[in-house]
Amino acid sequence: MTLKQRLQSPQPLLAPGIYDALSALVAEQAGFEALYLSGASIAYTRLGRSDVGLTTASEVAQTLSMITERVSCPVIVDADTGFGNALNTQRTVREFERAGAAMIQIEDQTFPKRCGHLEGKTVVAASEMQGKLRAALDARRSAETLILARTDALAVEGLDAALERGELYLECGVDALFIEAVRSPAQMDAACARFAQRIPLLANMVEGGQTPVQNVDELGRRGFRIVIFPGGTARAVAHTLQGYYASLKAHGTTEPWQDRMLDFDGLNRLIGTPELLAAGRRYDA
């Protein structure tokens, strides 16, 4: 089933955050139907830096291609601002589509952008964003490659302006819509009342962010069709690593931690080493 077909279902789609092929593989094995690759998680894990526009399009495309080579479920990928103007956006869409993206998210922040839940954001004119979205739609080779329009205007211009931008982006023919950093259940409901019957609407759950964190069923009842927890994976891994490294430093051994980690064989089973070696033996002389 393609992502486009899946979004025709009334059941909301829950997509966990991933940042590399290993996190994608574990998520797929857990049974998720789609995955979400955020620029923030790439900045956190590849650069050890904040989500302030430091990642490049080529870094995202390279990460995406390694993920889609390893897993089969659809990947929604964060393309930030398109990494430039409308022509840059077209190049980004073509590159991400070749790398296997099922849905490409483009936002209306200025560049360099920052995490949608940080203060101090600025947005481009709505007309400039419309141009980028039309360029993105023209650039894709397949209608199965979906374009998701995100607006960050709520924090800058207020809810009404963000909803008006949603209308303008919807007119461009995008496949899904994302009103970033809604701050209350009432604002969630306002966005859903405006758009949920016309286009799949995405809810972004950021632990400690501006939007109240709710579960997928509650968000589905409100009207959201896509629910992402984009940075939760990186935050969980970082927390686990803090404990692991502190224990190793304190004890000089991993023994106190071994009930909380995979052993050598366990990791090899997870990543499919026995199957890989068996496949290689088919080509032995």
| All structural domains of the chain with their residue ranges | 3-231, 238-281
CA angle 166/148/13 to nearest 5° reads: 105
Is residue 36 within 8 Å of residue 16, measured between CB atoms?
Answer: yes
Rounded to the nearest 5°, which phi and psi values hold at 126?
Answer: -60, -35
Residue 244: CB partners within 8 Å, gap ≥ 6? Answer: 254, 257, 260, 261
pTM over 0.85: yes
Query: What tens digit of pLDDT does each residue of 248-272 get?
Result: 999 999 999 999 999 999 999 999 9
Antiparallel, parallel or unpaired: β 146-151 and 176-179: parallel
Task: Give the CATH number of domain 3-231; options: 3.30.930.10, 3.20.20.60, 3.40.50.10320, 3.30.1280.10.
Answer: 3.20.20.60
pLDDT digits (tens, 9 = 90+) for 204-260: 999 987 889 999 999 999 999 999 999 999 999 999 999 999 999 999 999 999 999
**Please, what is the end-to-end C-alpha distance for the chain in angstroms?**
39
Which one, of 70, 45, 59, lies nearest residue 95 by Cα?
Answer: 59
Please choose, from the candidates 236, 254, 184, the residue with its C-alpha nearest in 3D space to the C-alpha of residue 45. 236
- Answer yes or no: is pLDDT of 130 > 70: yes
Question: Picking from 110-114, 123-127, 233-237, 242-246, which range would have the lowest pLDDT averaged per residue?
Answer: 110-114
Within its chain, how far is the Cα of 226 from the centroid?
A: 11
Summarised one tens digit per residue, pLDDT across range 8-43 is 999 999 999 999 999 999 999 999 999 999 999 999
Percentage with pLDDT > 90 across the chain: 89
